[in-house]
Structure 1
C-alpha cells in the first residue's frame, strides 16, 4: 500500500501533517509526485482561521478537497508535480493540478495540466493566481490606452497588473499600504503609489486588497461613469461603503469577479481548461518570479500556515518544497 503525507486544518487555527493511504492508479489515471505547492495566502488564511461563511461553504470547496469547513479539512489548489504513472503522453511530465498540499496523489488525466517547457516548478505554482488574473481582466475588459489602478499588491493584484501592462498604451499603477511593494512593482514594470498619493480619474480600477479602506479608495479614484472590479474575497467580514456621497451622481459601477466560473464575456467559447492552459503559457514570463517571496520544507507547513494566517508580513507567494517527501 502506498502512503502520502498531507496537510490538514484540524480545527480553526490548528494544522497538522497526516499520513494516509494512497491507492494504486487505475487504467487511465495518473499518479503524481508533488514537487511544489503554493500557499494562496488570502483564501488559505481564511480557511485556516475558520472564517468561511456557512452560506459559502459549498461554493468554496476546492476540486480535491476532503473534509468540510471549518475542519477537519484538507484544502489547497496550487500543486506542481511529476507524473510517475499514467498515459504515455503524460508520463514524466511536470504538471499543475488543483490539488491540496500532499506529497503524492492519484487523479484523472483531465485534472492535470502540463507545464510548458522553460517554466520552473516554483513559478508554476502561480498558475492559479494568473488564471484568476486572466478572469479578472476578461471581466474588466480594459481598452487600449486605459489608465488602470490595481489596489492591493498581493499575489492576485500583482498578476493583474503584470498582465494588464501588456496592453498597448495602458498606464498601470499598483497601490498598496506597504512601501516595500514599490520594488515588486518595478520588477513587474508598472507604477506604484501608496494610498495617499494614489492617482485619480482612472478609467478602470481593480480592487484586490481585501480591505474596506481599499474598496473605498477604489470608488474614489475611478473616473466618473467608471467601473470598479471587486476581486477580493472578504469571507465573513462585513464591509461598509459610503454610497450616500457621490456614488450616484458619478454613476459608478461596482462589479464582482470570481474565478469559479469563466467570465461571461468568454464563457461561450472558453472552458476552464482553456483558461488554465493560457495561464500556464503566460508564466513563461520570468517577471512573475518577483512574486516568489519565500519557501519552506513541507515539514514546516503547519507553522508556516499559522504564521501567514496571523501576520503574512511582506510575503506574496510562499511555496512549499516537497522534493524530499
Structure 2
C-alpha cells in the first residue's frame, strides 16, 4: 500500500513523494488523512532552512524521529478517518475520525494509543488546531498568571492568538498584545485582549500614574518568533517580572542587553516548550490532562477567525510560499486531502 508524503527537501523546497507503507500490523490502525494543519512557526523555519543542525526533531513524538536535516518529513497536526485495523485491534475503530501527531501525508499507520478520537461537534479543520491550543495551554501553565496582574503577549501569530484566547479568561488588570500587523492586532482584540498595539507603544499603555511598584508588566510572553523581540520583552517587565519565551528561533540568535536593569530588577526569563511539563506541576499534571484541557478550550475558540484558507495537498508548495510571503488572511492554513 502506498502513501503520498510531503518532504522538505531543501530551503524553500517541498515535494510530495510516493512511498510504500504496507498494511497495518496486528496492533495498528490505517488512517486516511482528511486535513492537516501547517504550523506557521516551526514549519516555516524548516521551510527556510533555519533549523539548528544536530538537534532532534521531537523525541516525544514517535512519528518525528531523527534530526533536523533535509530531506525531512515534518508536520504534527493530522486529522483523518480510520479505514483499516490489524487483527488485534477492535474493529470499532473503523470509521472513526481521529487526530494524530503525524507529518503531512495522505495516509499513515499508527497505533490506537497514539491517536485521539475527534468529538462529533469538532470539524476536521478545527481539530488541526489542537497542537497550537495545547502549546498555548502549556504557556499559560508555565506563566502562572495571577489575579490583577499586567500581562503582555508579544506576537499575534497562531500560537500567540490561541494564548490570547486562554488568557482572556483570567481576571487580569491589563492584558496587552504587541503585534506589528494591524489585521492581527484586530484579531487579538477579537479574541479577548484589552488592547493590541504596535511595537514601541506598549510602554504608554502600561504607564501608571504615581505607582512605582506597578511599573511595567508582571508577566510577558515572547511568542513573536523574532529573536530581536526578546530584548523588548525583557525591557517591558517591571521589578521581579517574568518573561516566558515560547518562540523557537531555530538557528537564529537573540541579541539581548543584560547589562542594564536586568540583574537589579530580578527579572526572570524562562523557556516554555510543549514537549515537557513544568516540574512543579508534574505531581498532578500529565500530557493527557493537558491535552484534555486544550481540547475543551478548542471548543470555545473562534476558529474561523484564525482560518487562513484551505489548500489541496497537491498544491502544498503554494501554501508554504504564501505563508512565507505573508500572503494569507489568517495564520492557520489547512491542507486538504479529499
The answer to whether the superposition gives a TM-score over 0.5 is yes
Residue by residue over 1:264-321, the C-alpha shift from the partner in whole angstroms, topping out at 9 and shown as x without a partner, is 2322332223322322222111423322122211111023223423546654111111
- 3-state DSSP class of the match of 1:56? coil
Structure-1 separation of matches of 2:242 and 2:295: 28
Residue 89 of structure 1 and its aligned partner are, at CA, apart by 4.5
Is the contact between residue 48 and residue 306 of structure 1 (CA under 8 Å) also seen in structure 2?
no
1:42 aligns with 2:41: yes
- 3-state DSSP class of the match of 1:228? strand
Query: Aligned match of 2:232 in 194, 207, 217?
Result: 217
Structure 1 residues 104 and 215 mapped into 2: Cα distance closer, same or farther (>3 Å)?
same
Structure-2 separation of matches of 1:94 and 1:59: 25
Partner of 1:181: 184
Residue 81 of structure 1 and its aligned partner are, at CA, apart by 1.1
Is the contact between residue 31 and residue 83 of structure 2 (CA under 8 Å) also seen in structure 1?
yes
Residue 144 of structure 1 and its aligned partner are, at CA, apart by 1.8
Residue 245 of structure 1 and its aligned partner are, at CA, apart by 1.3
Superposition map of 1:74-223 within 5 A: 74-86=73-85, 87-169=90-172, 171-190=174-193, 191-198=195-202, 199-200=205-206, 201-223=216-238
Is the contact between residue 67 and residue 74 of structure 1 (CA under 8 Å) also seen in structure 2?
no
Q: Which runs of 5+ in 2 are unaligned?
A: 207-215
Structure 1 residues 83 and 171 mapped into 2: Cα distance closer, same or farther (>3 Å)?
farther
Is the contact between residue 165 and residue 171 of structure 1 (CA under 8 Å) also seen in structure 2?
no
Highest RCO, 1 vs 2 (Cα 8 Å, sep ≥ 6)? 1
- 3-state DSSP class of the match of 2:41? helix
Residue 49 of structure 1 and its aligned partner are, at CA, apart by 2.2
- What is the aligned length? 322
1:30 aligns with 2:33: no
Structure-2 separation of matches of 1:95 and 1:315: 25
Structure-2 separation of matches of 1:244 and 1:88: 63
Structure-2 separation of matches of 1:241 and 1:312: 30
Is the contact between residue 17 and residue 302 of structure 1 (CA under 8 Å) also seen in structure 2?
no
Residue by residue over 1:162-202, the C-alpha shift from the partner in whole angstroms, topping out at 9 and shown as x without a partner, is 10111234532221011111221232122311112213322
Q: Which runs of 5+ in 1 are unaligned?
A: none
Residue 27 of structure 1 and its aligned partner are, at CA, apart by 2.6
Structure-1 separation of matches of 2:180 and 2:329: 11
What is the CA RMSD across the aligned residues, in angstroms? Answer: 2.0
Structure 1 residues 58 and 211 mapped into 2: Cα distance closer, same or farther (>3 Å)?
closer
- If you compute each CA radius of gyration, which structure gives the higher value, 1 or 2? 2
Structure 1 residues 212 and 312 mapped into 2: Cα distance closer, same or farther (>3 Å)?
farther
Residue 51 of structure 1 and its aligned partner are, at CA, apart by 2.1
Structure-1 separation of matches of 2:327 and 2:231: 23
1:260 aligns with 2:263: no
Is the contact between residue 310 and residue 333 of structure 2 (CA under 8 Å) also seen in structure 1?
yes
Structure-2 separation of matches of 1:113 and 1:262: 20
Q: TM-score, normalised by structure 1?
A: 0.92
Is the contact between residue 151 and residue 205 of structure 1 (CA under 8 Å) also seen in structure 2?
yes
